[in-house]
Copies of this chain bind each other. A is one copy, B any other.
Amino acid sequence: MTYLWDDPATFADDALAGFCDLHADLVRQVPGGAVRRARPERPKVAVLPGGGSGHYPAFYGIIGPGLADGAVSGNLFTSPSAQDAYSVAKAAESGAGVVFSYGNYAGDVMNFGLATDRLRAEGIAVDNVVVTDDIASAPDEGQRRGIAGDFAVFKIMGAAAEEGVDLASVVRVGRKANERTRTIGTAFAGCSFPGAAEPLFQVPDGKMGLGLGIHGEPGLRDVPLSRARELAADFVRRLLAEKPADAGDRVAVLLNGLGSVKQEELLVLWRSVAALLRESGHVPVLPEVGELVTSLDMAGVSLTLTWLDDELERLWAAPASTPAFRRGRMADEPEPRAVADEQREVEPVARYAPASAESRQLADHVLGALRRVAAVLGEAEDELGAIDAVAGDGDHGRGMVRGIGAAVTAAEEAQRAGAGAGDCLAVAGDGWAARAGGTSGVLWGAGLRAAGEVLGDHAGGAEVAVKAVDALTSRIVSLGGAAVGDKTLLDALEPFRTELQDAVAAGAATGIAWTRAAEAADRAARSTAELVPRKGRARPLAERSIGTPDPGAVSTALIARTIGDYLTGEHR
């Protein structure tokens, strides 16, 4: 959806005006688009990309030194008029001629063509570089549409013009860049115009439109949505099959988001693209990953390769400074010092206290209980996630599984090294906190460490268990700052703690007391469903959770019960 507008009919004009206000130091609005505010010191070729709006930063977002001298901007997905192109060219030209550059669309070809005729009639040198990079749009290169590869062609022409060469030379490198540029894209979901109730087109659920154009033009076909690495493989394979005959192994790369694809998704995709290009013997040169040619809020992505020769590489690498794209060193930036890719040792080196034979024996049981908890939490992961998803981000199960897994690993290592029960439990806590992150991770990690420190070299026993649970609870309270009734894990932990204390005081054996306490925790966890989370706390959609128990309380009761079962021998 496109959500923000004042008047759908003037959306493109309003966005251009906003841009020119925001970047008033750099650009100046003229009828039909915008031009650089600073006039060149001496005549230079004006590089003028253009086309319909809705593709930001194409086209006016890349006005600036080293790139465009101006941009011709039409209505949404509609070519600018010949008058627009004429007007921008008149404002931008400084005596060395003008080159219009745009994707190969009928309306653009006609309107820029008419403007060219009119400017030439006035004695201004003008030429056109039409971009045809979309390999999905037609078998014949000359018939292809222009999509994200636009950017590579504009960048290379902008750099050439900045070097001060003549119009014919700028056009020559632009056409060479276009001949060596190939793009393949895919769309996951359509885009919508401001004020439109429906998207311009839709992609069936679970599918993607391979080769779909940036205005929704037909592509190759709908195919099942694939994982990032499969998509990367398909893209790279299709582009390498189109490698120009005389091309070398150095390529400019654009991994371009169409609008609603997240930068983090592009970075995940980049990992596979980069690996595949390198495996194929190619060297990505200054790759760009981000939004370069978009389509309103379309969800989609495209991959562009420009096979470089020495000239194109120099121009691709040249500095540029525009609102949406910058390349090169800053004026005040220190030259980076080359350093070895050092990897400092930052994992804590575990040092274990000397342990008695009894404590080492108890360590085996600590480890056994942790393993049993890991198994039970693994089984409960999806259920805990579902409870958490009601009002949270649904990752409680995953976080607990990561944490207990790391705890078991750390405890195993300690046990192998001859550590006692206290150290095993303490490093289990360290492992949990290190690996799980989040609130539950740090609380369980610090709590287990506190319990381990109480356990120390003791050989076990009900009183020590009570003290260890006290320490764990105190640590969690002091760190987390929650009180009973706040709908947190404390609502299960505190009833567990008091019931254990009472049962042990009444003379119950550890296993019996623990089981009784676990039952209390279980009842308390279930009754958290009636609670409202503490006000003012940064918790997702707190009010939604009424009627659902707190996932932290549920997992706490589950851990308590599992350890109780272990202690009473049910699962040893």
Q: Determine if A540 and B201 form an interchain contact, defined as CB atoms under 8 angstroms apart.
A: yes
CB contacts under 8 Å to B, within A74-88, are: 74-84, 86-87
A398 interface contact, C-beta 8 A:
yes
CB contacts under 8 Å to B, within A109-140, are: 110-111, 114, 137-138, 140
Q: Determine if A334 and B91 form an interchain contact, defined as CB atoms under 8 angstroms apart.
A: no
The smallest C-beta distance from A545 to any residue of chain B, in angstroms, reads: 11
Which residue of the partner chain, among B228, B265, B272, B334, contacts A65 with CB atoms under 8 Å?
B334
Which residue of the partner chain, among B1, B111, B200, contacts A393 with CB atoms under 8 Å?
B200
A505 interface contact, C-beta 8 A:
no
A211 interface contact, C-beta 8 A:
no
List the B residue with the shortest CB-CB distance to A186: B3
Which residue of the partner chain, among B268, B289, B321, contacts A330 with CB atoms under 8 Å?
B321
Which residues from chain B contact A107 at a C-beta distance below 8 Å?
A: 437-439, 441-442
List the B residue with the shortest CB-CB distance to A287: B22
CA distance A167 to B105 in the complex (A): 57
From A18, A104, A105, A544, residue with most partner B Cβ within 10 Å: A18
A54 interface contact, C-beta 8 A:
yes
The smallest C-beta distance from A32 to any residue of chain B, in angstroms, reads: 8
The smallest C-beta distance from A472 to any residue of chain B, in angstroms, reads: 15
CB contacts under 8 Å to B, within A529-560, are: 536-544
The smallest C-beta distance from A17 to any residue of chain B, in angstroms, reads: 6
* Per-residue contact bits, chain A 208-233, to B (CB 8 Å; 1 contact, 0 not): 10000101111000000101110100
Which residue of the partner chain, among B87, B196, B441, contacts A346 with CB atoms under 8 Å?
B87
Q: Determine if B6 and A229 form an interchain contact, defined as CB atoms under 8 angstroms apart.
A: yes
* Per-residue contact bits, chain A 184-217, to B (CB 8 Å; 1 contact, 0 not): 0000110001101010110000001000010111
Q: Determine if B225 and A91 form an interchain contact, defined as CB atoms under 8 angstroms apart.
A: no
A153 interface contact, C-beta 8 A:
no
Q: Determine if B399 and A4 form an interchain contact, defined as CB atoms under 8 angstroms apart.
A: no
Which residues from chain B contact A57 at a C-beta distance below 8 Å?
A: 263
Q: Determine if B81 and A111 form an interchain contact, defined as CB atoms under 8 angstroms apart.
A: no
CB contacts under 8 Å to B, within A240-298, are: 259-272, 274, 287, 289, 291, 294, 296-297
A332 interface contact, C-beta 8 A:
yes
A569 interface contact, C-beta 8 A:
no
A9 interface contact, C-beta 8 A:
yes
Q: Determine if A56 and B262 form an interchain contact, defined as CB atoms under 8 angstroms apart.
A: yes
Q: Determine if A65 and B330 form an interchain contact, defined as CB atoms under 8 angstroms apart.
A: yes
A371 interface contact, C-beta 8 A:
no
A344 interface contact, C-beta 8 A:
yes
Given contacts A22-B274, A90-B344, A330-B330, contact A442 B114 (CB under 8 A): yes
CB contacts under 8 Å to B, within A41-92, are: 41, 52-54, 56-57, 61, 65-66, 74-84, 86-87, 90-91
A524 interface contact, C-beta 8 A:
no
Q: Determine if A329 and B331 form an interchain contact, defined as CB atoms under 8 angstroms apart.
A: yes
List the B residue with the shortest CB-CB distance to A441: B81
Given contacts A218-B543, A330-B65, A434-B83, contact A3 B299 (CB under 8 A): yes
Q: Determine if B106 and A333 form an interchain contact, defined as CB atoms under 8 angstroms apart.
A: no
Q: Determine if A65 and B442 form an interchain contact, defined as CB atoms under 8 angstroms apart.
A: no
CA distance A17 to B270 in the complex (A): 9
Q: Determine if A267 and B19 form an interchain contact, defined as CB atoms under 8 angstroms apart.
A: yes
CA distance A436 to B74 in the complex (A): 9
Which residues from chain B contact A430 at a C-beta distance below 8 Å?
A: 83
Q: Determine if B228 and A4 form an interchain contact, defined as CB atoms under 8 angstroms apart.
A: yes
The smallest C-beta distance from A74 to any residue of chain B, in angstroms, reads: 4
CA distance A389 to B216 in the complex (A): 12
A175 interface contact, C-beta 8 A:
no
A395 interface contact, C-beta 8 A:
yes
Q: Determine if A271 and B542 form an interchain contact, defined as CB atoms under 8 angstroms apart.
A: no
Which residues from chain B contact A436 at a C-beta distance below 8 Å?
A: 81
5 A-B pairs with CB atoms under 8 Å apart are A9-B398, A19-B267, A37-B336, A65-B334, A75-B399
